[in-house]
Amino acid sequence: MSAKMGPQRRAAFLAALKATGNQTIAAERAKVSRAWVQLHRSTDPAFKAEVAAAVAAAKANVLRGRNSGSMKPPPGWEFLDGEELVVRGSRGRPVQVARARLRQWTPRIEERFLQLLGQTCNLRLALKSVGLSASSLHEHRKRWPAFDERCELAIAAGYERIDRGLTAEAIRLLDPEVAAGAPPPEERAIAPMSVDDAIRLVRLHERQAREAAARRRFQARGRGPKCPGVAGRRTGAGRG
């Protein structure tokens, strides 16, 4: 490969670096090698300064997204050569756009998981469907507060959906005439589960809500972090 730096190649590399903060990915997008980048950084002070400025700009942009709770890369950087990209960087590593590792949470997996969670309110089933573990979910929710909030919203929406389904089922059984005159539902209110399972799930949710309210009242009285006899569970989904 020629050592000469053409303006188009240089501009392509710097633009990709400014978007991702990742020199390897930027080099691939510009169709150059890392050795090419290293050579010009060591021999061209102006290029070296441009690289540093691009990395700093990328870090600031990616950090803004990360601090707002988003692990989505900038628009246009969701995939590279068919591989999914994510925002990564912790434990001393630079924050940058990088290739997703095997069995890692990605924006695509997040969306699928939240959809399943909203349909079933079942963490175990949703995790099994995306091939990830409960411990990875716990760590991911701690690392990404916005995703944690979306999990809670999906669970709440799921319980509301199941409750509507149970109400519709009860009306159908107790008053078929009213049920016959009701407009057809836009979507199935109860995800694939039995009525008994749905009832148990709603009862579990109601019990957890009562326990959470009891803990809040107990804490408000300044008598400790937890209400005696009440487990300190996170409000949320049934375990299946």
Please tell me the distance from the alpha carbon of residue 234 to that of residue 129, in angstroms, as a whole number.
22
Per-residue tokens: 67: 């601090």
pLDDT band at 102 (very low <50, low <70, confident <90, very high): confident
Please tell me the distance from the alpha carbon of residue 240 to that of residue 215, in angstroms, as a whole number.
25
Least confident of 119-123, 125-129, 183-187: 183-187
Least confident of 95-99, 160-164, 189-193: 189-193
Q: Look at residue 186 in the predicted model and tell me its pLDDT.
A: 44
Instruction: Count Cβ neighbours within 10 Å for each residue of 104-136 and write b for 16 or more, e otherwise.
Output: ebbbebbeebbebbbbbbbbebbbebbebeeee
Break the chain down into helix, strand, coil percent, rounded to 5. 60, 5, 30
66 close to 95: Cβ distance less than 8 angstroms: yes
180, pLDDT greater than 80: no
Q: Look at residue 120 in the predicted model and tell me its pLDDT.
A: 82
Using CB atoms within 10 A of its CB, is residue 5 exposed (0-12), middle (13-18) or buried (19+)?
A: middle
188, pLDDT greater than 90: no
* Annotated domain spans of the chain: 7-99, 107-220
Instruction: Please give the DSSP secondary-structure letter assigned to residue 90.
Output: -
Q: How high does pLDDT run on average in the chain?
A: 76
Please compute, for residue 123, the number of CA atoms within 13 A of its CA located in the half-sphere on the CB side: 18
Least confident of 61-70, 81-90, 128-137, 184-193: 184-193
Per-residue tokens: 57: 């700009």
Please tell me the distance from the alpha carbon of residue 199 to that of residue 231, in angstroms, as a whole number.
22
Q: Look at residue 207 in the predicted model and tell me its pLDDT.
A: 64
108, pLDDT greater than 50: yes
Q: 65 Cβ partners below 8 Å, 6+ apart?
A: 71, 72, 74, 87
- Tell me what the mean pLDDT of segment 53-80 comes to: 80
pLDDT in tens, 145-161: 888 889 999 988 888 87
- Tell me what the mean pLDDT of segment 22-35 comes to: 91
Helix (H, G, I), strand (E, B) or coil at 98: strand
Q: Look at residue 94 in the predicted model and tell me its pLDDT.
A: 72
118 close to 164: Cβ distance less than 8 angstroms: no
Q: Look at residue 209 in the predicted model and tell me its pLDDT.
A: 64
Please tell me the distance from the alpha carbon of residue 138 to that of residue 127, in angstroms, as a whole number.
11
Which of 59, 41, 29 lies closest to 5, judged by CA? 41
pLDDT in tens, 13-22: 999 999 999 9
39, pLDDT greater than 60: yes
% of the chain beyond a pLDDT of 70: 61
More confident residue, 94 or 8: 8
Using CB atoms within 10 A of its CB, is residue 83 exposed (0-12), middle (13-18) or buried (19+)?
A: exposed
Q: Look at residue 234 in the predicted model and tell me its pLDDT.
A: 47
- Tell me what the mean pLDDT of segment 105-131 comes to: 89
Least confident of 14-18, 54-58, 161-165, 225-229: 225-229
